[in-house]
Structure 1
Amino acid sequence: MALRMQRLVVGLLPWAFLLPPGGWAGEIIGGKEARPHSRPYMAYLEIQRRDERIRCGGFLVAENFVLTAARCQGDNITVLLGAHNVKLRERHRQRIQVCRQIPHPQYNRETLNNDIMLLQLENIAVLNRWVGTLALPCAGERVAPWTTCNVAGWGRTLPTVDCLSDTLQEVDVVVMPDATCLRHPYKPYRHYNPCSMMCVGDPAFLNDSAKGDSGGPLVCGGKAQGIVSWGICKAPSVYVKVSTFVPWIERTMRRLQPGARL
């Protein structure tokens, strides 16, 4: 029982003004520090929004594109690749400005449907042992309920301590049947859409919340099957179903590659 509880820990939650009433968006609670640079696809996003600085997670899907959540838009975004401890000047870290933010055209701030965004990097990332890409699923691919996946990020690690992690944290989570979220037709799951969202985290074992990053990947079988999106003060949490958006992702990246006709 204790081992299962440890594996099923995730909490979701960033900025209330971007979420439906009672909703929070995502981070890691109860996990452990990841082995440094074991996830070379992870991206740490420094976001300037008006007079505040916020952070999000993301992941590299091509040499010049990072995938994240649409709520992570800002006036200016800087991407750190190859990072583990974001407070240190790590030797192999790459710092790249974002030149274009491309949120999904049907992103809805109220329902949080289509909470996905591509970031085009100003410079091409150098791929090496510390920086690499994460594979996308096939279009329409489905993750079976009760599959154990993994999520990582730099957010709060304790629900009662208002302090974000400097080091990358990770935790295993379980994909739940859509019915786990659909059986709550009122707040906050009333907008749950099984076509574009995933229900993740066993409610029998978790009651956590945390302030931290959204936009990080839910990795299942070596592929980015989900993106941290939103949740409440207990599991399950809601992730973007990446396989639904693969045609849009690939089409957008092709259109914006150097030399492509816009």
Structure 2
Amino acid sequence: RQGLTKFPRLSSILVILLEVTFPSGEIIGGHESKPHSRPYMAYLQFVAQGVQKKCGGFLIREDFVLTAAHCLGRQVTQRPMNVTLGAHNIENQEKTQQVIPVKRTIPHPDYDNQYYYNDIMLLQLEKKANLNPAVQPIKLPRSKDKVKPGKVCLVAGWGRVAPNGKYPNTLQEVKLKVQKHQVCERSNQEDTGSVLPLLSSQGDSGGPLVCNHVAQGIVSCGKKNGKPPRVYTKVSRFLQWIKETMKSHQVQETD
């Protein structure tokens, strides 16, 4: 089954270390993004068991957003969900914003909620997004792409600006540097070949890890005690599933 390998392969582990600074009021090691400079970013909102939930995501086609399967929790079933595109300040009704309902949630069929294997999900939108400078899809990697040590990547989101701190209204971003390390081995993290274990800040789950303008990873989860490393789903391992899933639902709409 694609993307599911339960044997550790520590030689393929990548660790991304923060270039850490602590400016007041900013995401740890980062800063507020230039408004609408990350036009692929998506903000997800839905209600689960009477509680307002939110997650990150990113546009990969006019009618599809990619995110993490664990955003839906244990019950990966259809729930009312809206996707906001073109946002910078999520508390303002910006003219650039497009709020589109989700037509279909499609978690990976082999998603494991206990260990977060295959933590990836497609969201089919009710209608195509109107592409403009503030709303644009991001490129996906090639199947053989590798994130090499020394590469500087970026994570953006509306996550906490400090441990146990408040959530910002504006999009924040932080740069991360890829290094070889055995952090995951020491932290009892297992590399399944479909994840990238990293050290990062409290970004929104489901958001992208962007390297050279390509979405190489999806913010998945950290250790259960909330400490690093943070795990990212490796997008390149799921390209076939992504393409086949989008194609199959497109065909269904035209039948």
TM-score by length of 2: 0.83
1:137 matches 2:141? yes
Partner of 1:19: none
Residues 30, 157 of structure 1: 8 Å contact kept: no
Q: Secondary structure at the match of 1:37?
A: coil
Partner of 1:195: 193
Q: Distance in 1 between matches of 2:152 and 2:247?
A: 32
Residues 154, 168 of structure 1: 8 Å contact kept: yes
Provide Cα deviations, 1:42-73, integer angstroms capped at 9, x if missing partner. 00001211211111000000000000000112
Please, which of 226, 248, 251 is the counterpart of residue 255 of structure 1?
248
1:6 matches 2:21? yes
Please, which of 174, 178, 195 is the counterpart of residue 175 of structure 1?
178
Please, which of 220, 224, 227 is the counterpart of residue 229 of structure 1?
220
Counterpart amino acid of residue 6 in structure 1: T
Shift of 1:259: 5.4
Shift of 1:159: 1.3
Q: Distance in 2 between matches of 1:6 and 1:149?
A: 16
Q: Distance in 2 between matches of 1:159 and 1:87?
A: 22
Residues 176, 199 of structure 1: 8 Å contact kept: no
Please, which of 238, 242, 247 is the counterpart of residue 245 of structure 1?
238
Q: Distance in 1 between matches of 2:213 and 2:34?
A: 16
Shift of 1:106: 0.5
Counterpart amino acid of residue 50 in structure 1: Q
Deviating more after overlay: 66-75 vs 113-122: 66-75
Q: What are structure 2's unaligned runs of at least 5 residues? A: 1-17, 73-77
Partner of 2:71: 72
Q: CA RMSD in A?
A: 2.3
Q: Secondary structure at the match of 1:174?
A: strand
Please, which of 105, 119, 123 is the counterpart of residue 123 of structure 2?
119
Counterpart amino acid of residue 55 in structure 1: K
Q: What are structure 1's unaligned runs of at least 5 residues? A: 10-27
Counterpart amino acid of residue 180 in structure 1: V
